[in-house]
Every structure is written in structure tokens, then in C-alpha cells.
Structure 1
Amino acid sequence: MVRPSVETSVILDAAAQVIAEQGFGGVRMGEVAARAGVAKGVLYLRFADKNALLRAVVDREVVLTARRSIELVEADDQGGSFSRLYVHAVTALYSRPALLRLYQEPSAPLQELARDGERLRARELLGAEFIRALQAEGVVTADLDADVLVANLTLWNQALAAQAPTVGADALILGMGALLARAVDTGTGDTTAGKRVFVAFAEALIAERERR
């Protein structure tokens, strides 16, 4: 049944489904409209073109991922250690298949989306600035080079996403978390400071995306 209007979230949900199944290059406005149950013209009343729709999907997926990360971190007694922050952030990413496509498509059809992907991989939730903030709080080993650590984690994350295993991803993520616990964490028993730093970074990211 075609509806004359729906909440914008319904359209974004439909577009996210298409992205998850077919990638960014496979998105067609007609298919998104059909899944949302609206005429294609309704999409163009909300979004100037397909690029605008895709950017809106990415922004919302980033927000949902960040919010889920916060939930996981705050529910974990040791959630403020870097190893646990990493596990929770990547787990949250894997809960959003459309966003995961940014890792799987290094040559995204939109240059702006590709740049968004680079920011996601290298800066926003687990970037060098964030790691240095954790070092200042005594949560991450002080003599580590934050930029080198981020570069290595970026490569690992891209490789994991490219394989996109349907079975075993959780074990791989936890395994990387265990390695980080030995190599990066300081072993402090109170990780409250790490949680505080993470939530501040995540909330700033959410606010930035929701302003667009």
C-alpha cells in the first residue's frame, strides 16, 4: 500500500536496508520508496537527490552506533579501559550493517561519503585525539604513539569488515580486545575516567551529526 507520507525515519530505515543488502552503489530511489511504502516523489520532497538521502542515512547510522556504544560502555564495569571501549565500539558498528558498508566499500560512489568513511575509520570514536585523552587520564599506556595505534587498528578493522564473517566476528573482536588489554591498557582498576572521556567524545559526535 502506498502511503502519501511517512516519518522520515521510515524512509531512512528502508534506505539502510537497501545499502546493507546491495551497497551504496545499489541504491535506487524507486526501490527505497517501495520499501518505505511511499511514492518516489515523496522522497524528493524530503531529499534533494539520492546523494542527500545517502548522507542522511550515514549521519543517522553514525548517531545510532554512537548511542549503542555508550550503552555498552556504561553497562560494563571495566568499560572505560581502552580494550573494552574498542570491543564495544566495534560491536556497535557491527550492529549497523549499512554503516559497515563504508568499511567494505573503500571506493564509495560518493566522494563525500568516502570522506565520511575515512573520518569514521581514523578519527571519531577511537581516533588519536581520543587515545591521547585516555593517556592523559592514565587509562592508556603513555609511551604508545596514538597515531600509529590508530593506523594499525584501522587496517585491522578494514580487513575484518572486508571479510564480513557472519560467524566468528564476535570471537575476532574479543580476541583483538584481549591483545589490546595486554598492549595498551594500564591495568587501572577504576576505569571511570575512560568512560567519561568516551561518552564526551561520543556525545560530541552525535551532536555534530544531528546538526547537519
Structure 2
Amino acid sequence: MVRPSVETNVILDAAARLIAEQGFGSVRMDAIAARAAVAKGVLYLRFADKNALLRAVVDREIVLAIRRSIELVEADRHGGSFSRLYVHAVTALHSRPALLRLYQEPSTPLRDLPQDSESVRARELLGAEFIRALQAEGVVAADLDADVLAANLTLWNQALATQALAIGVDELILGMGTLLARAADTGTTDTNAGKRAFVAFAEALIAEREQR
């Protein structure tokens, strides 16, 4: 049954499922309309073109991943340590299959997305700016170079998201968390400062995305 109108989130849900199944390059507007059970023209009433729709999907998927990471951090007694913040943020990313497609497709019409710019990347969760904020709170070892640490984590995260691995993703994420606990955590027993910094940073990123 085709619905003449539907909430935009229903369209974005349909598009996200198709992206997860087929990839960004293969998704067609008529397929999204069929999955959402709306006329194709409804999509063009909401979005200027397919790229605009796909950008909206990516923005929403990022917001959902960030919100999930906040939930995981707040539920973890030691969630404010850098190693646990890392585990929860990357686990949340891997809970959004459509978002992982950005890493898995070498060529996608969305490579010009604003979040790929250096200015926005600097504000990413677990980015250098955030690591320096945690160092100021005594959560991350002060002698570590925040830019180098962020760059290494970015490379590792991209490799994890891109490759089909024989061993489970969860085990690899926890393994990296263990390495970070030894290399970056300060050993403080009260990690509430880290939690507060993470939530503030995450909510700022959500607000930025939702204002697009």
C-alpha cells in the first residue's frame, strides 16, 4: 500500500536499511520510496535530490550513534576513562550498519560531505580536541601527543570498519580498549569528569548535526 505522506524518519529508516544492504552507490530513489511505501514524488518534496536524502541519512545515523554512545558511557561505572569512552564510542558506531558503509565503500557520492573536512574532523568524538579536553581533566595521560593518538585511532577505526575480519569485532574493540587502558588512562578511580566532558562534547556534536 502506498502512503501519500509519511514521517521523514520513516523515509530515512528505509534508506538506511537499503544502504546497509546495498551500499550508497547502488541505492535508488524508487527503491527507497518502495521500501518506505510512499510515492517517489514524496521523496522529492522532502529532499532536493538523492544526495540530499543520503546526507540526511548520514547526519541522522551519526546522531543515533552518538546518542547510543552516551547511553553506554552513562551506564558504565568506569565509563569516563578514556579506554571505556573509546570502547563505547566505537561500539556505538558499529551498531549503525549504514554508517559503516561510508568506510567500506572506496567510492561514494558522499565523499564531499562536510564531516570529511579537517575543521569538523577535529571536533569528532575521540578526536584530538576532545583528547586534549580529557587531558585537562586528568583523564588522559598528559605526556601523550593528542594529535598523534587521535590520528592512530582514526586509522585503526577505519581499518576495523573497512575490513571483513575473521575474528569478532567486539573482541577487537575490547582489545584496543585494553591497550588504551595501559597507554592512555591515568588510573583515576573517579571518572565522572571524563563522563561529563564526553556528554558535553557529544551533545554539542548532536546539536551541530540537527541544525543542518
Shorter chain as denominator, the TM-score bin is over 0.9
Are the aligned partners of 2:122 and 2:129 in contact in 1 as well (CA < 8 Å)? no
Identity among equivalent positions (%) equals: 82
Question: Partner letter of residue 78 of structure 2?
Answer: Q
Q: Is the alpha carbon distance of 1:207 and 1:163 closer, same or farther for their aligned partners in structure 2, counting shifts above 3 Å?
A: same
Are the aligned partners of 2:69 and 2:88 in contact in 1 as well (CA < 8 Å)? yes
Q: Which residue of 1 is the match for residue 90 of structure 2?
A: 90
SS at structure 1 position matched to 2:60: helix
Establish whether residue 27 from structure 1 lines up as the match of residue 23 from structure 2. no
Are the aligned partners of 1:62 and 1:99 in contact in 2 as well (CA < 8 Å)? yes
Question: Partner letter of residue 100 of structure 2?
Answer: L
Question: Partner letter of residue 58 of structure 2?
Answer: V
After TM superposition, the structure 1 stretch with the greater mean CA deviation from structure 2, 130-139 or 154-163, is 154-163
What are the superposed Cα offsets for residues 13-70 of structure 1, whole Å, 9 maximum, x if unpaired? 0100111111111110000000000110010011010011011001101110110000
Instruction: State the alpha-carbon separation in 1 of the partners of residues 199 and 169 from structure 2.
Output: 25
Question: Partner letter of residue 146 of structure 1?
Answer: A
Q: Which residue of 2 is the match for residue 66 of structure 1?
A: 66
Establish whether residue 9 from structure 1 lines up as the match of residue 3 from structure 2. no
Shift of 1:167: 5.6
Instruction: State the alpha-carbon separation in 1 of the partners of residues 6 and 167 from structure 2.
Output: 36
1:80-159 → structure 2 map (5 Å cutoff): 80-113=80-113, 115-117=114-116, 123-159=123-159
SS at structure 1 position matched to 2:25: helix
With normalisation by structure 2, the TM-score equals 0.95
Are the aligned partners of 1:103 and 1:158 in contact in 2 as well (CA < 8 Å)? yes
Are the aligned partners of 1:121 and 1:154 in contact in 2 as well (CA < 8 Å)? no
Q: Which residue of 1 is the match for residue 169 of structure 2?
A: 169
| Runs of 5+ consecutive residues of structure 1 not aligned to the other structure | none
Shift of 1:102: 1.4
What are the superposed Cα offsets for residues 142-189 of structure 1, whole Å, 9 maximum, x if unpaired? 010001001111111111111144860000000000000000000000
Establish whether residue 182 from structure 1 lines up as the match of residue 182 from structure 2. yes
Instruction: State the alpha-carbon separation in 1 of the partners of residues 59 and 83 from structure 2.
Output: 26
Instruction: State the alpha-carbon separation in 1 of the partners of residues 157 and 208 from structure 2.
Output: 24
With normalisation by structure 1, the TM-score equals 0.95
| Runs of 5+ consecutive residues of structure 2 not aligned to the other structure | none
Shift of 1:111: 3.4
Q: Which residue of 2 is the match for residue 200 of structure 1?
A: 200
Instruction: State the alpha-carbon separation in 2 of the partners of residues 191 and 10 from structure 1.
Output: 38
Count of matched residue pairs: 211
Shift of 1:107: 3.3
CA RMSD of aligned residues (A): 1.6
Q: Which residue of 2 is the match for residue 75 of structure 1?
A: 75
After TM superposition, the structure 1 stretch with the greater mean CA deviation from structure 2, 32-41 or 158-167, is 158-167
Instruction: State the alpha-carbon separation in 2 of the partners of residues 208 and 166 from structure 1.
Output: 37
